[in-house]
Amino acid sequence: MRTMPRRAAFLLLSSLCLALLPMAGTHAETIDGRRVVIIDGDTIALGRERLLNVDTPETFRPRCDADLVAGLRAKERLAELLRAGPVGIDRHGEDRYRRTLARLSAGGRDVGEILIAEGLALPWRDGRAAWEERRRHWCGQR
């Protein structure tokens, strides 16, 4: 039996690697921000992506009126950032609601970091204490 020539083996291995690439843990691409549906300040709908390491006030089930107002401001700003031009998306697994966690960049800048810097989002931390801290931040003491 004759061995496979090196070039054919290389092409076969390269093809296999390319075929498996979509299964890798992260996936980066550029999208047209004008075609993105904005769910709220930290969730967009391509599939169903959530900004990685960022939390904005709720708009679907707000905890208080201030939560809703701040959440709508964050959503509006996210829309402005994404509609300004090409958007980079780098996917990093899923959250417990099966949304894809992703970093978005617009104009070469991390969208989540922009929202945090502008006071429209907080860094994401897990747990009940962090949830209470976010509620107090957006809704005041209770």
Query: pLDDT tens digits for 47-78?
Result: 678 889 999 998 888 889 999 999 999 999 99
Q: Can you give the residue ranges of every domain in the chain?
A: 26-139
Tokens in use for 54? 């960022």
- Answer whether 0.75 is exceeded by the pTM: no
Report DSSP state, residue 95. -
pLDDT confidence tier of residue 122, bands split at 50, 70 and 90: very high
Residue pair 106/73 in contact by the 8 Å Cβ criterion = no
Among residues 53, 44, 98, the alpha carbon closest in space to that of 75 is found at 44
Q: Which fold has domain 26-139?
A: OB fold (Dihydrolipoamide Acetyltransferase, E2P) (2.40.50)
Residues 42 and 127: their CA atoms lie apart, in Å, by 18
Q: Can you name the residues that pair with 29 across neighbouring β-strands?
A: 89
* 85 pLDDT above the threshold of 70: yes
Query: pLDDT tens digits for 87-115?
Result: 888 999 998 888 889 999 998 899 999 99
pLDDT at res. 49 = 82
Residues 43 and 62: their CA atoms lie apart, in Å, by 15
Residues 52 and 100: their CA atoms lie apart, in Å, by 9
